């Protein structure tokens, strides 16, 4: 046993003495030692009940002949950390959690681990930690919260954020806002929509690291306790057979996770977490690897914020096993992947089917023909950006409008609440990326307030930061490179002030992305002025549009005032190379020909 290095032999008498101080007996020390990572705390609603889950896990481990030893990890509630300085710490906590798992499992050589997360960064943090250590491990989550009720309708935390916008516009009273606030989150569990926490919990099933229904059994149901007991038993089988996370998380498993993510319309934050998980499994995955999966995988579910269904509805309709079974039936899932049951997905999914086709659609009758997420590229985001297309109104999949540029979330909120955003605008928030934030804050408040004001079908939002899984509307995040790294999205602000001493440094950073363009500097009164026109073409979101056969794009195409970037003679013939998806020169030439030549007086911005 791996744990023998800390408990067996003459020289380990002091070690055993310390275990005895914790109350362990000779019999308990002779058994496999199973570490339980418990992220319970009294702050996160999704974690307030995890001690109960852990108690059930311990019973399962004991019943199967193991010795459970519990340890703790930190956890940040993104909802509570939202829209203030605290959000700068959330994404970074993922690595701290991964570090704590690795430290505990290496400092005290467990034979196996049971990971008990539930919300936000805790789930990917624990998965990363398990892959680093690579000892037999299984995930059992705390489960989703039941939806709240208001005026006979299901509501979630997202409805409270949107109600703030409604109250700001005085379309609801402060009393109704308070009523919604009190009703939306009725008890323990991860917030009831398909936000980041529930998306990641569902994907633990697709990866093969958790039992079926781990992502959807409501937190307070007895089935969750039984799932925890069974997970405790199964870790002993994983230890016996030495089935480790890296044997389970293969490239096919990652593709399964992406496919399920596309089918359910998961959080855009999975585009951060899945590549990180893959990295520690030794599998290079980039943002641009998402689109091929999105193109072939239809969007099957409309769980909040994309629709009116909550996580409890997804569970009642058959849960993730029903989704995976439908994908497998249509050859959109790898059924031969190993799972923590010791069997393959194909075996585990036998007899599973959709129980409510209004919640989980058939592949032949999807919500959308392609997946719930898509990667866009273009002259604003040469290295890509992400949109949750399943939660975008069809009328906003193509949009062009004047940009309102803000250099922080706080500045954007001041502008939004101050009535400065009008129908047709594109809100651009820069310096909110990993470096510029720092911390890449999750910005649910601006998107929700815009939606609450009734502007989600008229206003787009673009940022080098990120959004919550609860975000809906034409909200495009993760723009890369970020402004603070010299990304083109930041060019208008610097270029608008010709005496800015930092512009020369910025110009050197952004030079690789200019590709032969010449800059003509102009003055504007303030960097948050209407700097440029933004065009979004996300109708096909990752693929070729069925009607017009045009490629997905996100680009700056015009300028109202300020910095102007005019094409040089050499660059003009390659102008359309900035547009997303134009990797092939023949495609670029076709689009350039269809758009016509652009003279030197045509104003183009990055």
594 is catalytic: no
Which residues, in sequence order, are CB contacts of 196 under 8 Å at separation 6+? 78, 120, 267, 269, 270, 468, 469
Environment class of residue 463 by beta-carbon count within 10 Å: exposed (0-12), middle (13-18) or buried (19+)?
Answer: buried
Where do the H-state alpha helices sit in 184-318? 196-207, 222-241, 245-248, 251-264, 270-280, 290-296, 311-316
Cα 302 to Cα 391: distance, rounded to the nearest angstrom: 8
Q: Over the Cα atoms of the chain, what is R_g?
A: 25
CB 241 within 8 A of CB 342: yes
Which value, to the nearest 10 degrees, does the dihedral of the CA atoms of residues 557, 558, 562, 564 take? 60
Other Cβ atoms within 10 Å of 177 Cβ, number: 16
Place of tokens 């670029």: 588
Closest among 526, 537, 245 to 378, alpha carbons compared: 537
Query: Residue 4: which H helix or E strand, with range?
Result: none
Catalytic choice (268, 448, 468, 496): 468
Pairing of strands 460-463, 153-155: unpaired
HEC readout, 428-497: EECCCCCCCCCCCCECHHHHHHHHHCCCCCCCEEEECCECCCCCCCCEEEEEECCHHHCCHHHHHHHHCC
Q: Provide the 10 A C-beta neighbour count for residue 175.
A: 9
What values do phi and psi take at 536, rounded to 5? -120, 130
Q: Bridge-partner residues for 252, per DSSP?
A: none
Let me know: does 474 contact 522? Beta carbons within 8 Å. Answer: no
Number of other residues whose CB lies within 10 A of the CB of residue 606: 25
Check: CB of residue 273 under 8 Å from CB of residue 201.
no
Q: Which of 201, 181, 161 is nearest to 39 (CA)?
A: 201
Decide: helix, strand or coil at residue 334: coil
Reading the block at residue 91, the tokens are 């994404």
Burial group, residue 501, by CB count within 10 angstroms (0-12, 13-18, 19+)? exposed
The CA–CA distances, whole Å, from 343 to 21, 243, 459 equal: 39, 11, 48
Q: Which residue has the tokens 């744990």?
A: 3
Q: How far apart are CA 122 and CA 536, in angstroms?
A: 33
Backbone angles phi, psi at 597, to 5 degrees: -70, 150
427 neighbors 450 (Cβ within 8 angstroms): yes
Residue 442 CA to residue 433 CA, distance in Å, equals 10
> CA end-to-end span of the chain, whole Å?
59
The set of catalytic residues is: 468
């Amino acid at each position: 046993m791996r744990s023998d290095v800390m408990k067996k032999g003459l020289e380990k008498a002091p070690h055993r003495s310390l275990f005895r101080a914790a109350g362990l007996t000779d019999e308990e020390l002779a058994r496999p030692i199973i570490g339980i990572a418990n992220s319970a705390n009294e702050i996160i609603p999704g974690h307030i009940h995890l001690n109960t889950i852990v108690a059930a896990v311990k019973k399962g481990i004991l019943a199967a002949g193991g010795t459970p030893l519990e340890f703790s990890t930190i956890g940040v509630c993104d909802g509570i950390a939202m829209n203030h300085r605290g959000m700068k710490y959330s994404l970074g906590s993922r690595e701290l959690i991964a570090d704590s798992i690795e430290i505990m499992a290496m400092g005290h050589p467990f034979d196996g681990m049971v990971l008990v997360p539930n919300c936000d960064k805790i789930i990917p943090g624990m998965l990363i930690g398990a892959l680093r250590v690579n000892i037999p491990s299984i995930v059992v989550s705390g489960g989703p919260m039941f939806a709240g009720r208001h005026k006979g309708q299901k509501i979630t935390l997202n409805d409270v954020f949107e109600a703030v916008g409604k109250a700001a516009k005085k379309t609801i009273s402060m009393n109704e806002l308070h009523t919604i606030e009190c009703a939306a989150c009725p008890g323990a569990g991860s917030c009831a929509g398909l936000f980041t926490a529930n998306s990641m919990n569902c994907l633990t099933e697709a990866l093969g690291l958790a039992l079926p229904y781990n992502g959807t059994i409501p937190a307070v149901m007895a089935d969750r306790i039984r799932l925890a007991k069974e997970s405790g038993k199964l870790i002993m089988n994983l230890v016996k057979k030495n089935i480790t996370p890296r044997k389970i998380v293969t490239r096919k498993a990652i593709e399964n996770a992406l496919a399920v993510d596309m089918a359910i319309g998961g959080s855009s934050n999975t585009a951060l977490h899945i590549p990180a998980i893959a990295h520690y499994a030794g599998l290079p995955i980039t943002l641009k690897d998402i689109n091929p999966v999105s193109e072939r995988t239809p969007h099957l579910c409309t769980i909040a914020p994309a629709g009116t269904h909550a996580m409890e509805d997804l569970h009642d309709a058959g849960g993730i096993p029903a989704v995976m079974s439908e994908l497998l039936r249509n050859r959109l899932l790898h059924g031969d992947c190993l799972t923590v049951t010791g069997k393959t997905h194909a075996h585990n999914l036998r007899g599973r089917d959709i129980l409510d086709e209004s919640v989980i659609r058939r592949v032949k009758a999807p919500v959308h023909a392609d997946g719930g997420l898509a990667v866009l590229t273009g002259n604003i985001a040469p290295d890509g950006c992400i949109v949750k297309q399943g939660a975008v109104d069809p009328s906003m999949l193509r949009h062009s409008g004047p940009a309102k540029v803000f250099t922080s979330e706080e500045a954007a909120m001041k502008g939004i609440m101050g009535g400065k955003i009008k129908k047709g605008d594109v809100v651009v928030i820069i310096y909110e990326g990993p470096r510029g934030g720092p911390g890449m804050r999750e910005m649910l408040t601006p998107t929700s307030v815009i939606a609450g004001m009734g502007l989600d079908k008229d206003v787009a939002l673009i940022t080098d930061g990120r959004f919550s899984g609860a975000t809906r509307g034409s909200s495009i995040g993760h723009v890369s490179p970020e402004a603070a790294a010299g990304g083109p999205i930041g060019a208008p602000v610097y270029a608008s002030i010709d005496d800015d001493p930092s512009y020369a440094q910025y110009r050197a950073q952004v030079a690789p992305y200019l590709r032969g363009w010449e800059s003509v500097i102009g003055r504007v009164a303030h960097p948050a002025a209407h700097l440029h026109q933004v065009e979004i073409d996300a109708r096909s979101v990752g693929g070729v549009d069925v009607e017009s056969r045009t490629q997905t794009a996100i680009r700056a195409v015009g300028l109202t005032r300020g910095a102007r970037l005019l094409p040089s003679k050499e660059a003009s013939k390659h102008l359309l190379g900035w547009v997303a998806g134009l990797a092939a020169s023949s495609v670029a030439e076709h689009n350039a020909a269809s758009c016509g030549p652009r003279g030197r007086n045509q104003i183009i911005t990055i």
